[in-house]
Amino acid sequence: MNSQVGKYLFLICSFIFWLFLALFSSKLIVDNLTSGHHYSNLVFNLHYLKNSGAAFSLLQNAREFLIIVSIIATTLLFMFVHHNIRSIHYISISFIALLSAGIMSNCHERIVLGFVRDYIQLKFINFPIFNVADIFITIGVIALVVILLAYKGK
């Protein structure tokens, strides 16, 4: 029983940490960019953009739909942990927390601001501008796919 409680606490604490980090970093970076500060190096530059859609300019101005999908996705991820609490490993929980925090960070911005703040622009490839929450989502999805494929063989 203690192991299960520990897993729930780990999920909640990890989720809150990653969510805070995504929201705090976005606010800090955007506040600096809108007050005239600029940053650029060989790999990326910071360029503020208001994104009213999802990744790759999909679903522009579909704010309510994206909010609903975000809430459903996060709920399903937490339900997955709950239903598999006895067998799920901490590493899987950590990536589910990371993925959920990225989703909910973007959801929070859509609810509060009406758009998502994007600001990281890669220089070496033509790629849409993104934010820290998008990085969390990408890492979470890739890690969970790798974990699922690794366990599929066992």
- In three-state secondary structure terms, 122 is strand
Catalytic residue among 97, 134, 136, 144: 134
For helices 90-112 and 132-152, the axis angle rounded to 10 degrees is 150
- The candidate with the shortest Cα–Cα distance to 26, out of 149, 130, 148, 154, is 130
31 is catalytic: no
Measured CA to CA, the distance from residue 133 to residue 120 in angstroms comes to 11
Residues 6+ apart with CB under 8 A from 4: 85, 86
- Helices then strands, counting H and E runs in the chain, come out as 4, 2
Is residue 118 part of the annotated active site? The answer reads yes
Of 97, 105, 118, 129, catalytic: 118
- List the one residue out of 42, 49, 44, 106 whose CA is nearest residue 73: 106
The catalytic site residues sit at: 118, 134
